């Protein structure tokens, strides 16, 4: 009774795979042309200063995915590689930015279906009372399906010394989905090196399920200066005469102070310099400014920083 | 239903078609997501036509991008209620619409006895009609048992 005795025209929809007229890829170039993944990698090279080991690893992963594509053409068994990653590095070294690019690369190569990035921290995964954590974690995982789940400061998930901490529950659900849902999402953990090491020691299951550990090195002063110029150019500012040298000096001094957060500190310093520039121009009520005045940061804007204040004693 | 030659309950979309495969369900979900709908899973073992509100299986799923999340919920619901009716509903939150935009059954019992139309005479030869599911005789949870 349950099976209808009539036929349905066009009931079986064609799979949403690649268009039929495209020939199967035969060379690396074919795959690259079809997926346009090289654009993203070039962009990564161009926009991100330094980070050589990270870029190399991203390139390796992309190469593996491309070759896997070609292997599939020959019917060679290509089990979906585990793409879960761990990004370790000090604050402001570009972990989130690279994660965003990674989502694009994986999407272009067809390893995640939608290519969006869901960035979460402990608060988004762990509940406040018994029975709250599992639905919360699952809801986040559902949102990340088809894309990349980026867990910032992942070591907070595990609180040693508190057996009843709900973080452990979130970790177990994560592990299960990382194992069974490889086709559906890629998990990227991020955090500081030392604390991530402790985290992995307490959660060996997590360590073994993550294939790629990428370390983000600190930036050198020259790299930070280049980054600063990138940031300024994006916002249509530039260094005036001598300001570049002063800022270099600023970077060296700032790096020795506590709570130095690499590129993030640079961004904040530049934002403060913009405020000072605005005040400086604001004081000249009757002057007519041209575009050059409005875009230039002079040494005085930078030298007013607390970093240059003479240290007492 | 009495007039339904297939012996299947026909409620919501696609109900005159053969059951959708998981792949077809996935495509429908993706279509709904591309329109910005929020999906939810509901189940019941009382598919009376006037039973509008079925039990919710979990919360409606907002901000999803891919069908895999909904499919996970559906799989869990099928596991828990293998012989219940399960339907997927897509809620359109657009201001001015704010109602269900898509709804279709994705799980049904193997045998669906259907409904009976009961006639009873009232004063002055009036006829009163009543629709009653054959399966509704049994208590909740035991209907559609094998």
ipTM of the complex: 0.80
CA-nearest residue to A182 within chain B is B68
Using an 8 Å CB-CB cutoff, list chain B residues near A147.
65-66
Tell me, what's the pLDDT at A72? 80
Percentage, residues of chain A above pLDDT 90: 33
Using an 8 Å CB-CB cutoff, list chain B residues near A120.
none
Tell me, what's the pLDDT at A18? 46
Tell me, what's the pLDDT at A51? 85
Instruction: Answer whether CATH 3.30.190.10 is correct for domain B22-110.
Output: yes
The answer to whether the CB atoms of B16 and A4 lie below 8 A apart is yes
The answer to whether the CB atoms of A142 and B6 lie below 8 A apart is no
The answer to whether the CB atoms of A5 and B6 lie below 8 A apart is yes
Q: Alpha-carbon distance B115 to A60, whole Å? A: 62
What's the mean pLDDT in B79-89? 95
Tell me, what's the pLDDT at A313? 47
Q: For the ranges A74-83, B34-43, B68-77, B86-95, which has the lowest average pLDDT? A: A74-83
Tell me, what's the pLDDT at A16? 42
The domain segmentation of chain B, as residue ranges, is: 22-110
Using an 8 Å CB-CB cutoff, list chain A residues near B24.
12-13
Mean confidence (pLDDT) of chain B: 91
8 A C-beta contact, residue A179 and residue A172: no
Check whether A12 has a pLDDT greater than 80: no
pLDDT tens readout for residues B12-57: 999 888 899 999 999 999 999 999 999 999 999 999 989 999 999 9
Using an 8 Å CB-CB cutoff, list chain B residues near A142.
61, 64, 68-70, 72-73
In the Cβ-directed half-sphere of A245, how many Cα atoms lie within 13 Å? 2
Cα distances (angstroms) measured from residue A164 to each of A122, A127, A198, A206, B60: 16, 12, 19, 19, 29
In Å, how far is B27's CA from the nearest CA of chain A?
A: 8
Tell me, what's the pLDDT at A13? 41
Q: Which two tokens stand for residue B146?
A: 């094998």
Tell me, what's the pLDDT at B8? 86
Minimal Cβ distance to B72: which of A1, A2, A142: A142
pLDDT tens readout for residues A60-100: 888 888 888 788 888 877 677 788 999 999 888 888 888 88
Quickly state the pLDDT bin for A17 (edges 50, 70, 90): very low
Minimal Cβ distance to B64: which of A3, A15, A142: A142
Identify which has the larger pLDDT, A62 or B109.
B109
Mean confidence (pLDDT) of chain A: 84
In Å, how far is B69's CA from the nearest CA of chain A?
A: 4
Q: Is B9 on the interface with A (CB under 8 A)?
A: no
Check whether A9 has a pLDDT greater than 60: no
If one counts every other C-beta atom within 10 angstroms of the C-beta of residue A230, the result is 15
Percentage, residues of chain A above pLDDT 70: 91
Using an 8 Å CB-CB cutoff, list chain A residues near B135.
none
Sign of the Cα pseudo-torsion (A142, A144, A147, A150, in order):
negative
Minimal Cβ distance to B110: which of A2, A116, A145: A2
Minimal Cβ distance to A145: which of B18, B68, B110: B68
Tell me, what's the pLDDT at A66? 83
Could you tell me how many CB contacts below 8 A there are between chain A and chain B?
70
8 A C-beta contact, residue A239 and residue A229: yes
Sheet holding A85-89, edge to edge: A117-120, A148-151, A186-191, A85-89, A212-216
Quickly state the pLDDT bin for A11 (edges 50, 70, 90): very low
What's the mean pLDDT in A3-26? 51
How far the first Cα of chain A sits from its last, in Å, is: 93
Check whether A3 has a pLDDT greater than 60: no
pLDDT tens readout for residues A195-247: 999 999 888 888 888 888 889 988 988 889 999 998 999 999 999 888 999 99
Check whether A14 has a pLDDT greater than 50: no
In Å, how far is B112's CA from the nearest CA of chain A?
A: 8
Tell me, what's the pLDDT at A41? 82
- Residues of chain A whose beta carbon is less than 8 angstroms from a beta carbon of chain B are 1-5, 8, 11-13, 15-16, 113-114, 116, 135, 138-139, 141-143, 145-147, 181, 184-185
pLDDT tens readout for residues A245-280: 999 999 999 988 888 888 899 999 999 999 999 999
The answer to whether the CB atoms of B69 and A147 lie below 8 A apart is no
Mutate to test the interface with A, among B2, B26, B72, B113 (most CBs of A within 10 A): B72
In Å, how far is B21's CA from the nearest CA of chain A?
A: 9
Query: Who's near B90: CB < 8 A, 6+ residues apart?
Result: B32, B35, B37, B38, B39, B100, B101, B102, B103
In DSSP terms, B105 is beta-bridged to: B87
């Amino acid at each position: 009774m349950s099976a209808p005795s009539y036929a349905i025209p066009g009931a079986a929809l064609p799979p949403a795979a690649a268009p039929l007229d495209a020939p199967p890829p035969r060379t690396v170039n074919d795959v690259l042309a079809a997926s346009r993944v090289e654009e993203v990698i070039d962009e990564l090279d161009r926009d991100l200063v330094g980070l050589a080991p990270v870029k190399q690893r991203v390139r390796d992963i992309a190469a593996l995915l491309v070759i896997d594509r070609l292997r599939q053409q020959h019917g060679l068994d290509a089990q979906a590689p585990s793409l879960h990653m761990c990004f370790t590095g000090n604050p402001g070294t570009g972990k989130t930015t690279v994660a965003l690019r990674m989502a694009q690369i994986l999407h272009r190569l067809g390893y995640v279906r939608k290519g969006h990035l869901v960035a979460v921290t402990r608060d988004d995964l762990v509940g406040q009372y018994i029975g709250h954590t599992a639905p919360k974690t699952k809801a986040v995982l559902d949102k990340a399906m088809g894309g990349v789940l980026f867990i910032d400061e992942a070591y907070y998930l595990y609180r040693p010394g508190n057996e009843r901490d709900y973080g452990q529950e979130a970790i177990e659900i994560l592990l299960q989905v990382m194992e069974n849902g490889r086709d559906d999402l890629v998990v990227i953990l991020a955090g500081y090196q030392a604390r991530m090491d402790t985290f992995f020691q307490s959660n060996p299951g997590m360590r073994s399920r993550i294939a790629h550990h990428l370390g983000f090195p600190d930036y050198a002063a020259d790299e930070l200066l280049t980054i600063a110029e990138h940031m300024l150019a994006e916002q249509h500012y530039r260094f005036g005469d001598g300001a570049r040298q002063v800022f270099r000096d600023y970077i060296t001094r700032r790096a020795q102070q506590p709570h130095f957060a690499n590129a993030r500190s640079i961004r904040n310093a530049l934002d403060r310099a913009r405020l000072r520039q605005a005040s400086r121009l604001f004081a000249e009520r009757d002057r007519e400014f041209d575009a050059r005045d409005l875009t230039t940061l002079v040494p005085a804007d930078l030298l007013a920083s607390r970093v240059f204040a003479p240290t007492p004693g | 239903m009495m007039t339904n030659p297939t012996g299947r309950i026909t409620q919501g979309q696609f109900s005159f078609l053969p059951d959708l495969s998981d792949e077809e369900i996935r495509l429908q979900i993706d279509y709904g997501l591309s329109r910005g709908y929020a999906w939810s899973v509901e189940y019941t073992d009382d598919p009376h036509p006037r039973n509008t509100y079925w039990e919710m299986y979990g919360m409606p799923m907002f901000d999803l991008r891919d069908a895999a999340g909904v499919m996970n919920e559906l799989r869990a619901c099928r596991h828990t209620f293998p012989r219940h009716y399960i339907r997927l509903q897509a809620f359109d939150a657009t201001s001015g619409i704010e109602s269900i935009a898509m709804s279709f059954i994705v799980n049904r019992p193997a045998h669906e006895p259907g409904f009976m139309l009961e006639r009873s005479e009232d004063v002055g030869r009036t006829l009163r009609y009543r629709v009653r599911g054959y399966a509704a005789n049994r208590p909740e949870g035991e209907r559609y048992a094998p």
